[in-house]
């Protein structure tokens, strides 16, 4: 066991957990003084090829309000066949099936390497996967064609027993019946009328004289499946559906000059949610919404159909001038909650040049774990490949998606759960380990994740509740257990249990240890999530102020400096990068809305709060690689000084991949040297970033926007807006002209930021 770096990495690989602090301050007071809360990024379904699930069910603590799962941290009395719960200290006998247990014959869950273990639940019905396509038909012909093809393609990716359904909408909403022979049938709904779930089910003929009172329990899905004409196994309706999609026409209602097409997205979603609610309550299902524009009529309308009224901008929202915003948001939130209650997730695939109302609709995906994909057109590889990747498979050939997740967090007594931030909704489960201090979605120790994939990551925030005067015994450890129940994509019910423990440390005596246990990457992301979470409800400047305050406090706490002497300010290695992350975070689109539409902001934030640590960091501080004849490709500072004429730069912001050719390179390329055999090396140089980009493209979801630009190109702005403006038109001459490229901005550079930070940190008045 060497450095914390390795420890952290190992923990992440094994359990999918990164804590902000890997040593926990042992008292409440000290914990709050650490500024960054004890918290972690947890990836419940982290891919563990080396972790085969066990074929039995977990053994649980018998105490009713504990129910913790037997884990390697438990003390076991092999003789008495008794184990002690490490959370509540209840002594539990082993079940009869564990009769043969002994020191040499331990079940997997007791072995230390199985701090994360996955059980397969045998009993209970296995529900098929459900995919309900909700397709906007108010698209350009080309777009629609491309979308149709993508959808048809997707059918071949679905497991044969998965259920599929199709809803199309434009001015009207059509629910297509899939079993019909000879004649294509669909149920049509008016796009302007808000219908209750019951009405929808009645109109679809789903209400049977079925016995009521079965609510809350999946009503034998097989039976329901048979009764629902709208959701049918792929293998049965493959041909029908392919034809149906093939014959799908653009919305036929004429769109007068100066008008937007009438798009009933709100009703379409309501019908989709109502349909699933009626037919498959509490079963994993995925509503996939494809839209090519904003909802323009009916409930959930985002903008009127008059083209002369533009769709709301941040400016309008700040001026309280977005007349549909509140109503629409409320409408979609209600839908999202209904959907979440039943474990159905909603994906939004929005492809349009203008905004499509993601701001209003985002909660649909945010609360239900659905994807949001934003593109310019369905006829782009960005959409096509992203969509294809939704159905990507893991090493076992199973979909990288799971449904109906339920995450429960158990803590040892010294800790309580404050909340979680991620694609989840609260299950309002009050327990002894629930803190009253809420951070993120709090007030519960259980959350529902309607849909999750191996990269889905939650930020979970804790509170140390141990009082200062009740010190934890030396060598004591705090433990946290994550119990994730979910429906695997092969329809099995599974339970994954991750139990982790950290040492307590006395903050007064062991502050150095604590400082060195700081995971600044995780901390940056966790703090960023808190910031983004706040930004959803608070004014931008307030959030920045809060973030700055935290940073300054952290620096004051851990920085080494002489009072009022900024130059004396030093940070230890374990914190050295943190301020820089904060600098970039402040500039990021997650907190800055300038230059972004409300939809874009929603889109960026949506992805930020669900990706794992690495991706999140890329989002906060994009990665910049430099390619040149001077040596192998190397990462360089995200700084304007890195922009040199004889370099090719590759920037990855998660959302964009920018390849930037420096001035000289660009000229050479223009001159066509790469075509000449004698400049083969130039050709290779040009190719290198492309290959690297390709590699990133292969793995990223959603597909980043791929930008190939050069010095002076209009798209170079993507790069210029990200780099630290160390050279601007203001300080250009001071820096000399030989290196870098000046950025025309008034933004502060990292240098200025740091100087200021130091000043504030050392200030005695602060």
Partner 1 sequence: MSQQGYVAAPPYSQAQPGIGGYQGGFGAPPAQPLYGHYGGPPQGFNAPPAAGMMKSPPTSPAAMPPPPVSSQYNPSVQQNGAHPQRYASPSAASPPYGQPSHSVYNSMASPAPPTQQLANQMSAMNLGSYGKSHPPPPTSSAAQQHFQTPAPAMGQPQMHSAPAPHMASQNQMSPPQSPLTNMPASGQLMGGQSMTGPPMGAGPPMGGQSMTGPPMAGMNRPFPGPPPSGQGAFQQHGTGPTAPSGYPQQSGQFGGLMSGPQPGMPGAFPGSPGGLAGPPQKKLDPDSIPSTTQVIEDDKARLGGQVFSTNIRGQVPPLVTTDFTVQDQGNASPRFIRCTTYSLPCTAELAKQCQVPLASIIKPFAKLPKNETPLYVVNHGETGPIRCNRCKAYMCPYMQFIDGGRRYQCSFCNCVNEVPVFYFQHLDHMGRRVDFYERPELSLGSYEFVATLDYCKNNKPPNPPAYIFMIDVSYTNIKSGLVKLVCDELKTLLEKLPREDGAEASAIKVGFVTYNKVLHFYNVKSALAQPQMMVVSDIAEMFVPLLDGFLVNYQDSRAVIYNLLDQIPDMFADTNESETVFAPVIQAGVEAFKAAECSGKLFIFHSSMPTAEAPGKLKNRDDKKLVNTDKEKTLFQPQKGVYEQLSKDCVAQGCCVDLFLFPSQYLDLASMADVPSHTGGSVYKYNNFQVATDGEHFLRDLRKDLQKSLGFDAVMRVRTSTGFRATDFFGAIYMNNTTDVEMAAVDCDKAVTVEFKHDDALSEELGAFMQCALLYTTISGQRRLRIHNLSLNCTSQLSEMYKCCETDSLINFFAKSAYRAILNQPVKNVRDILVNQTAHMLACYRKNCASPSAASQLILPDSMKVFPVYMNSLMKTAPLVGSTELSTDDRAHQRLSVMAMGVEDSQLQLYPRLIPLHDVDASGEAVPAPVRCSEERLSDSGLFLLENGHAIFLWLGQASPPDLIQSLFNVPSLAHLQQEHMFTLPELDNPLSKKVRGIISELLEKRPNSMKLQIVRQRDKPEMLFRQLLVEDKGLHGGASYMDFLCYVHREIRQLLT
Using CB under 8 A, list all residues that contact partner 1. 172, 174, 177, 180, 182-190, 193, 195, 202-205, 247, 249, 252-254
In the bound state with partner 1, the residue whose beta carbon lies nearer, of 251 and 652, is 251
In the bound state with partner 1, the residue whose beta carbon lies nearer, of 181 and 678, is 181
Q: Please, what is the minimum distance in Å from the beta carbon of residue 207 to partner 1? A: 11
Q: What are phi and psi of 291, to 5 degrees?
A: -125, 145
In the bound state with partner 1, the residue whose beta carbon lies nearer, of 15 and 251, is 251
Q: Please, what is the minimum distance in Å from the beta carbon of residue 296 to partner 1? A: 17
Cβ burial, residue 293 (10 Å; 0-12/13-18/19+): buried
Among residues 298, 508, 527, 540, the alpha carbon closest in space to that of 421 is found at 527
Q: Please, what is the minimum distance in Å from the beta carbon of residue 206 to partner 1? A: 11
Q: Please, what is the minimum distance in Å from the beta carbon of residue 201 to partner 1? A: 10
CA 721 and chain centroid, separation: 24
Name 125's Cβ contacts closer than 8 Å, sequence gap at least 6: 218, 220, 221, 222
Name 165's Cβ contacts closer than 8 Å, sequence gap at least 6: 130, 131, 132, 133, 175, 176, 178, 230, 231, 232, 275
Q: Please, what is the minimum distance in Å from the beta carbon of residue 140 to partner 1? A: 17
In the bound state with partner 1, the residue whose beta carbon lies nearer, of 76 and 138, is 138
Gap between the Cα atoms of 739 and 427, Å rounded: 55
Q: Please, what is the minimum distance in Å from the beta carbon of residue 267 to partner 1? A: 10
In the bound state with partner 1, the residue whose beta carbon lies nearer, of 199 and 455, is 199
Measured CA distances, 505 to 32, 48, 451, 490, 574 (Å): 14, 31, 37, 43, 17
In the bound state with partner 1, the residue whose beta carbon lies nearer, of 189 and 462, is 189
Cβ burial, residue 217 (10 Å; 0-12/13-18/19+): exposed
Helix (H) or strand (E) holding 232: strand 232-233
In the bound state with partner 1, the residue whose beta carbon lies nearer, of 176 and 700, is 176
Please check whether residue 683 is in contact with residue 621, taking contact to mean a CB–CB distance below 8 angstroms. Answer: no
Q: Please, what is the minimum distance in Å from the beta carbon of residue 244 to partner 1? A: 9
Name 725's Cβ contacts closer than 8 Å, sequence gap at least 6: 640, 743, 745, 747, 748, 749
Gap between the Cα atoms of 540 and 369, Å rounded: 25
Gap between the Cα atoms of 650 and 413, Å rounded: 48
Q: Please, what is the minimum distance in Å from the beta carbon of residue 199 to partner 1? A: 8
Helix (H) or strand (E) holding 558: helix 540-558
Q: Please, what is the minimum distance in Å from the beta carbon of residue 198 to partner 1? A: 13
In the bound state with partner 1, the residue whose beta carbon lies nearer, of 200 and 415, is 200
Q: Which two tokens stand for residue 426?
A: 């609260």
In the bound state with partner 1, the residue whose beta carbon lies nearer, of 182 and 677, is 182
In the bound state with partner 1, the residue whose beta carbon lies nearer, of 77 and 194, is 194
Q: How many residues are present in the chain?
A: 766
- Other residues' Cβ atoms within 10 Å of the Cβ of residue 512: 11
In the bound state with partner 1, the residue whose beta carbon lies nearer, of 204 and 719, is 204
Give the helix ranges, DSSP H, for 468-509: none
In the bound state with partner 1, the residue whose beta carbon lies nearer, of 259 and 557, is 259
Q: What is the DSSP letter of 2?
A: -
Gap between the Cα atoms of 201 and 84, Å rounded: 50
Among residues 168, 169, 189, 165, the alpha carbon closest in space to that of 177 is found at 165
Q: Please, what is the minimum distance in Å from the beta carbon of residue 171 to partner 1? A: 9
In the bound state with partner 1, the residue whose beta carbon lies nearer, of 178 and 762, is 178
Q: Please, what is the minimum distance in Å from the beta carbon of residue 209 to partner 1? A: 14
Gap between the Cα atoms of 313 and 321, Å rounded: 9
In the bound state with partner 1, the residue whose beta carbon lies nearer, of 204 and 757, is 204
Q: Which two tokens stand for residue 357?
A: 């109302």
Q: Please, what is the minimum distance in Å from the beta carbon of residue 707 to partner 1? A: 40
Among residues 466, 376, 432, 496, the alpha carbon closest in space to that of 31 is found at 466
Q: Please, what is the minimum distance in Å from the beta carbon of residue 185 to partner 1? A: 4
- CA geometry: angle 607, 360, 291, nearest 5 deg: 80
Q: Which two tokens stand for residue 565?
A: 């002497």
Classify the phi-psi angles of 428: left when phi > 0, otherwise alpha if psi is within -120 to 50, otherwise beta.
Answer: left
SS3 211: coil
Q: Please, what is the minimum distance in Å from the beta carbon of residue 196 to partner 1? A: 12
């Amino acid at each position: 066991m060497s450095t914390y770096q390795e420890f952290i990495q190992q923990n992440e690989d094994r359990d999918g957990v990164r804590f902000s602090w890997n040593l926990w301050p042992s008292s409440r007071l000290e914990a709050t003084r650490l500024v960054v809360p004890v918290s972690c990024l947890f990836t419940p379904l982290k891919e563990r090829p080396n972790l085969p699930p066990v074929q039995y069910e977990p053994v649980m603590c018998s105490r009713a309000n504990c129910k913790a799962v037997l884990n390697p941290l438990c003390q076991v009395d092999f003789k008495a066949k008794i184990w002690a719960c490490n959370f509540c200290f209840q002594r539990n006998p082993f079940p009869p099936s564990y009769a043969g247990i002994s020191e040499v014959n331990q079940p997997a869950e007791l072995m230390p390497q199985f701090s994360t273990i996955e059980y397969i639940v045998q009993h209970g019905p296995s529900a098929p996967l459900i995919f309900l396509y909700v397709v906007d038909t108010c698209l350009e012909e080309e777009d629609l064609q491309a979308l149709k093809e993508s959808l048809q393609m997707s059918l071949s990716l679905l497991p044969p027993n998965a259920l599929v359904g199709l809803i199309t909408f434009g001015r009207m909403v059509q629910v297509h019946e899939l079993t019909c022979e000879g004649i294509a049938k669909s149920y049509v709904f008016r796009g302007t009328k808000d219908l209750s779930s019951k009405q929808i089910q009645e109109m679809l003929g789903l209400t049977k004289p079925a016995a009521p009172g079965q609510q809350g329990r999946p009503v034998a899905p097989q039976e329901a499946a048979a009764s629902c004409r709208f959701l049918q196994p792929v293998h049965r309706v493959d041909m029908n559906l392919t034809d149906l999609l093939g014959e799908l026409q653009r919305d036929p209602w004429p769109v007068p000059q100066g008008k937007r097409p009438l798009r009933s997205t709100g009703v379409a979603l309501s019908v989709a949610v109502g349909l699933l609610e009626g037919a498959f309550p509490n079963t994993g299902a995925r509503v996939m919404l494809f839209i090519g524009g904003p909802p323009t009529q009916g409930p959930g309308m985002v903008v009127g159909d008059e083209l002369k009224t533009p769709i709301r901008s941040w400016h309008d929202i700040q001026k309280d001038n977005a007349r549909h915003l509140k109503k629409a948001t409320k409408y979609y939130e209600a839908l999202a909650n209904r959907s979440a209650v039943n474990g159905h997730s909603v994906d939004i695939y929005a492809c349009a040049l203008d905004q499509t109302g993601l701001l209003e609709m985002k909660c649909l995906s945010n609360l239900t774990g659905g994807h949001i994909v934003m593109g310019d057109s369905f006829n782009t590889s960005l959409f096509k490949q992203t969509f294809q990747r939704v159905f990507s498979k893991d090493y076992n050939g199973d979909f990288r998606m799971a449904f109906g997740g339920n995450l429960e967090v158990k803590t040892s007594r010294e800790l309580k759960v404050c909340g979680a931030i991620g694609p989840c909704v609260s299950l309002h489960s009050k327990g002894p380990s629930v803190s009253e201090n809420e951070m993120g979605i709090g007030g519960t120790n259980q959350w529902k994740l309607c849909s999750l994939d191996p990269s889905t990551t939650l930020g979970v925030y804790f509170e140390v509740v141990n009082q200062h005067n009740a010190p934890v015994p030396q060598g004591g450890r705090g433990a946290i257990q994550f119990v994730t129940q979910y429906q695997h994509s092969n329809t099995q019910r599974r339970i994954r249990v991750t139990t982790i423990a950290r040492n307590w440390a006395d903050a007064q005596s062991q502050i150095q240890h604590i400082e060195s246990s700081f995971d600044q990457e995780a901390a940056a992301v966790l703090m960023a999530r808190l910031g983004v979470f706040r930004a959803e409800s608070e004014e931008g400047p307030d959030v920045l102020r809060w973030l700055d305050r935290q940073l300054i406090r952290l620096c004051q706490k851990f920085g080494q400096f002489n009072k009022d002497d900024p130059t004396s300010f030093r940070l230890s290695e374990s914190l050295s990068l943190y301020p820089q992350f904060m600098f970039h975070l402040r500039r990021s689109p997650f907190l800055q809305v300038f230059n972004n539409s409300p939809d874009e902001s929603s889109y960026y934030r949506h992805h930020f709060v669900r990706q794992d640590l690495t991706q999140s960091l890329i989002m906060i501080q994009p990665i910049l690689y430099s390619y040149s004849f001077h040596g192998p490709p190397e990462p360089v500072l995200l700084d304007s000084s890195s922009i040199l004429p004889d370099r090719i730069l590759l920037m990855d912001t998660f959302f964009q991949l920018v390849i930037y050719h420096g001035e000289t390179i660009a000229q050479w390329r223009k001159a066509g040297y790469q075509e000449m055999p004698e400049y083969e090396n130039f050709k290779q140089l040009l190719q290198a970033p492309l290959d690297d980009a390709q590699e990133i493209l292969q793995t990223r979801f959603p597909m980043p926007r791929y930008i190939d630009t050069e010095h002076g190109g209009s798209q170079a702005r993507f790069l210029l807006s990200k780099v630290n403006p160390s050279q601007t038109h203001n300080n250009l001459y001071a820096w000399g002209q030989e290196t870098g490229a000046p950025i025309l901005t008034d933004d502060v550079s990292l240098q200025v930021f740091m100087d200021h930070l130091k000043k504030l940190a050392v200030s005695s008045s602060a």
